[in-house]
Structures are given as C-alpha cells and as structure tokens.
Amino acid sequence: MKRPVIIAVAGGSASGKTTVVEEVISKLKKEFVVVIMHDDYYKEHNHLSLEERKTVNYDHPDSIDNELFLKHVNKLLKGEEINKPIYDFNTYSRLEKTEKITPKKVIILEGILVLTDKRIRELADIKLYVDLDSDMRFIRRMERDIKERGRTVESVVDQYLKTVKPMHHQFVEPTKRYADVIIPNDHKHDVVVDIIVSKINTILGEEE
C-alpha cells in the first residue's frame, strides 16, 4: 500500500472539528478513511481517585501520550495494524479494551492539541484548524458535556475557567499559524471541504 494521506484537524474545544471531519469523509469512500482521536491518548491516571482525576489539566499538551500516538501513526504509515486505546470521559481514564485499527488510504488525526507537536505536524500532508467564536464554543461544550459526559453545569463552568479557556489561548489558538487552511465554523463550509477533498484526491492520484 502507498503511504497514506495524513490530515491533522485541530481547533478549540467544541469548535466543530468532528462535523468538518464527517463532511470530508462523506465526500470520500468511507472504507478508505480512518479517524484517530487524539483524546484517546490521554495519559493514564489510574493511581488517582476519580475526584483527583477530575482536577487534572486535560487541556495542556503534556496530558497527551504523544509518544504512543506517534508510534501508532507511524505503524499505520508502514501498513501495520494498531490496538488504539479508548478513553472514557465519564471515568477520566482509558478503558481496558482497545480498538483494532487497520491502515487506510486516508488517516485523519483529530484533536484540540494535535498541531502542538512538531513531529505530528511534520507527518501531516494537510493541516486544518477549525475556528469558532469562544462564546459559541462554550455553549456547545456545555450542552455536550452535560448530555454526553454526565457533567454538571458547575463542573463544566469550573473546568472551562480554570483550564479550558487559559490553555486554549496559550496552546490551542497559537497553532492556527501551522494550519494550511483555517475553517470558520460559523457558516456552511461546502466550498472549503470540496477543496480539501480535491487536494486529498490529487495526493492519492499522484502516489498511484
């Protein structure tokens, strides 16, 4: 198999990264694409109690096990399978089971901090940053964390003010400068998605 196309998709928490990824996939052959979530590589904190795990700063680059992440991405690039960890946001820890991932023609790496590591950026053929107004991101995060992750309003607000917001300004937003394309997510982005898909197809065609 030819070297897969690597797409790195970053952006603030609840900015709409997954929506953009889904739109890109919808215009490609789904069987040719695999998505690796950076969040699944949060470092283990099983030595801490649940209450202690809740206080960990998960928005700092050091919270991610990039060594394992890069090891797995490089194995996929070599055509090897990986057993990807699965992170449980309800327990703030990885599940015991893993997910077997096979190499595909297109590998999408998604996460708020995915562009903070130079080694990941250098592997990516296309780097995207999904941008959205901070108020909208907070509202979306609030709705998501309460509905999907069992959080309370108080815990969402507390985490946002203590770590999410300051870490966004310190680490996430500055990675805009590494992006090949910045996607404003306050309106439809059919055109930019078409351009990205066209570029992917061009790369695949060139490699073939």
The amino acid at residue 124 is A
> Among residues of the chain, what percentage have pLDDT more than 90?
88
Mean pLDDT of 137-142: 94
Q: How confident is the model at residue 208 (pLDDT cuts 50, 70, 90)?
A: very low
Q: Give the model's pLDDT for residue 29.
A: 86
- At the topology level, CATH places domain 5-207 in Rossmann fold (3.40.50)
Is the predicted pLDDT of residue 114 greater than 90, yes or no?
yes
Q: pLDDT: is 116 or 149 the higher one?
A: 116
- Write the DSSP string, 43-54: PP-TTS-HHHHT
Cβ-Cβ contacts under 8 Å for 86 (sequence gap 6 or more): 40, 94, 95, 97, 98, 99
Is the predicted pLDDT of residue 207 greater than 60, yes or no?
no
**Average pLDDT across the chain, whole number:** 94
Classified as helix, coil or strand, 33 is strand
Task: Give the model confidence (pLDDT) of 23-80 as tens digits.
Answer: 999 999 888 999 999 999 999 998 999 999 989 999 999 999 999 999 999 999 999 9
Q: Give the model's pLDDT for residue 101.
A: 97
Q: Give the model's pLDDT for residue 189.
A: 80
Task: Give the model confidence (pLDDT) of 164-180 as tens digits.
Answer: 999 999 999 999 999 99
Mean pLDDT of 178-193: 88
Is the predicted pLDDT of residue 1 greater than 80, yes or no?
no
Domain boundaries, the chain: 5-207
